[in-house]
A and B are shown apart, each in its own frame.
Chain A
């Protein structure tokens, strides 16, 4: 049962992720992204990481993709024909794809993944308290760094989007 569910959710996630890339209509692509996130949340539930699953739904599916759609709707991209590929970006993306493939290949063939039995792996995403504890101890620095990055991004957006005309505008 669990095996079947895993394959179902995995196939669903990958198929909708492919849909994000392949779709020319930006709204369709965003909806595919939403479905893909729901699939990932399903996979998290199968790993007993209920908290992570619902956080993923709450933050990414509920807010981030909604904002994507919001922007897509405002830009109204559907009337514009998609630009044909230029040579330099094409070359660059091919190189990047090759590098990614090579990296994945070495990871799969030579990587020394620590393969502990399933019950020995600590389920940090399963329990509210464990998750919060890890967030405020082991992963405190990454959390702070990401928070700072987001703050910088927000300031950048405000500076870029707000046009100051004169002193009375402030």
Chain B
């Protein structure tokens, strides 16, 4: 079965893998919207979506009722609704950019996924082979570079809508995204100072970051970077919330003062593309955070994938090891997504001046101080 796949042309192989990953991310992002509503309902003490049901499944005695209460069919209902709704195109918009903006919103999320490794297995020689569409050496830089293009969807949507509230949303969003990119980039530098030992060619590889958190037993090499560099992790997480336009940094949308923010004029499928793009960005961002600070596919600190695979007797079967690593990685992502929602339904939205103040006057100096501290510390350790 696998031999047939590996005999195909590399271009076809790559296309198939890319499509497979997108086919997972797209529904996963859709499911996040349902999870968001369920989590919010749970936090506010109400049942949340619990009505939609497919007739045939309703006849299944116990399971049908359970699934209905869980609200899983609302996902299908929502998707179908957005597909079949009329596509409004207001008369006063710039048509090209108005249509282009939702597409541009999806693009960075589906491009960055190519360089994010999401699992690993061991070949017969015991070497770690990451599961990734492209295991490139510039890894994280590629993620940052492509995801920085996401700001254009907000700017274009706000500008092309040609009305006041979307415009304000677009202007706010572009300022916010550019501001928090700085502290985000600075906050991960200590991790790469740690990884790039002297005498090796420099790397920004995310796989390498996980390998450095894969030590076994009670030794500092098994400690995740999140514990080794808590401040970096915190700054990265806060900037991640700002970069994905999530609460409490919901400036682009801020529906209480801007109606719907940058997507006020959007409806139906174009609007749902913005929605899916936001969740896709959250998934990718959570993935990068997991790789950098939460040990990637290693189940616990000091308990790497290889050890656990050995315990379970999976050492000789790469497929099962890969599935195990994938499950661990996805589990961490799901937890981080839950954290996103938890924060959203707990913390009130910042005012715009507070967002700017936090970004420029608090996080940026803090991340620079953090970088200097770790640079000195690592230089000291290296010498000693």
A residues within 8 Å of B by Cβ?
27, 31, 34, 50-51, 54-55, 57-58, 61-63, 66-67, 69-70, 73-74, 127-130, 132
Nearest Cβ distance between residue A144 and chain B, in whole angstroms? 19
Question: Smallest CB–CB gap between B356 and chain A, Å?
Answer: 14
Q: Is the CB of A58 within 8 A of B171?
A: no
Which residues of B lie under 8 Å from residue A63 when comparing CB positions? Answer: 148, 178, 181
Please tell me if the beta carbons of B138 and A50 are within 8 angstroms of each other in the complex. yes
Partner of A50, one of B136, B146, B149: B136
CA–CA, A127 to B155, complex, Å?
33
Contact (Cβ within 8 A) A58 B175: no
Residues of A within 8 A of B155 (CB): 66, 69-70, 73
Which residues in chain B, 186-204, are within 8 Å of chain A measured between CB atoms?
196, 200-204
CB <8 Å contact, A61 and B148: yes
Q: Which secondary structure characterizes the binding site on chain A?
A: helix
User: Do A58 and B144 touch across chains, with their CB atoms under 8 A apart?
Assistant: yes
**B379 shortest CB reach to chain A, Å:** 15
Count chain B CB atoms within 10 A of each CB in A51, A62, A67 and give the residue with the most. Answer: A62
A62 to B178, CA, bound (A): 8
**B152 interface residue (CB < 8 Å to A):** yes
Contact B136 A57 (CB under 8 A): no
Partner of B202, one of A31, A55, A57, A127: A127
Point out which of A58, A67, A129 has the most chain B C-beta atoms below 10 A from its C-beta.
A58
Who on chain A is nearest to B143 by CB? Answer: A54
Partner of B181, one of A31, A62, A129, A132: A62
The docked-state distance in angstroms from the alpha carbon of A128 to that of B137 is 9
B202 with A67: CB separation less than 8 A:
no
Interface check B167, CB cutoff 8 A: yes
Q: Which residue of A lies closest to B147 (CB)?
A: A62
Within B132-147, which residues are at the interface with A (CB < 8 Å)? 136-138, 141-142, 144-146
In Å, the complex CA distance between A54 and B148 comes to: 11
Residues of B with C-beta under 8 A to A51: 138, 141
**Max chain B C-beta neighbours (<10 A), residue from A54, A55, A67:** A54
- Bound complex: CA of A73 vs CA of B203, how far in Å? 38
- Are A128 and B203 interface neighbours, CB within 8 A? yes
Assess the B203–A62 pair: CB atoms within 8 A.
no
Q: How far is the CB of B325 from chain A (nearest CB, A)?
A: 26
Closest 9 CB pairs of A and B: A62-B148, A128-B202, A129-B202, A57-B145, A58-B145, A54-B145, A54-B141, A66-B151, A50-B138
**Known A66-B151, A73-B159, A132-B202: A55·B145 in contact at CB below 8 Å:** yes
New A-B pairs, 11, CB < 8 Å, besides A55-B141, A63-B181 = A50-B136, A51-B138, A57-B145, A61-B145, A62-B149, A62-B151, A63-B148, A63-B178, A128-B196, A129-B200, A129-B201
Chain A residues near B204 (CB-CB < 8 A): 128
A38→B103 CA distance, assembly (Å): 17
Contact A73–B167 (Cβ < 8 Å): yes
Residues of B within 8 A of A70 (CB): 155, 171, 174-175
Asked whether B146 lies within 8 Å of A67 as measured between CB atoms, the reply is: no
Q: Please, could you name 30 A-B residue pairs with CB atoms under 8 Å apart, sorted by A?
A: A27-B159, A31-B97, A34-B152, A50-B137, A54-B141, A54-B142, A54-B144, A55-B141, A57-B149, A61-B148, A61-B149, A62-B151, A63-B148, A66-B151, A66-B155, A66-B177, A66-B178, A69-B152, A70-B155, A73-B155, A73-B158, A73-B170, A73-B171, A127-B201, A128-B196, A128-B202, A128-B203, A128-B204, A129-B201, A132-B202
- Residues A58 and B178 in contact in the complex (CB < 8 Å), given A69-B155, A73-B170, A128-B203: no
Closest chain B CB from A24 CB (angstroms): 14
- Closest approach, in angstroms, between the C-beta of B167 and any C-beta of chain A? 7
A-chain residues with CB within 8 Å of residue B196 when the two chains form the complex: 128-129
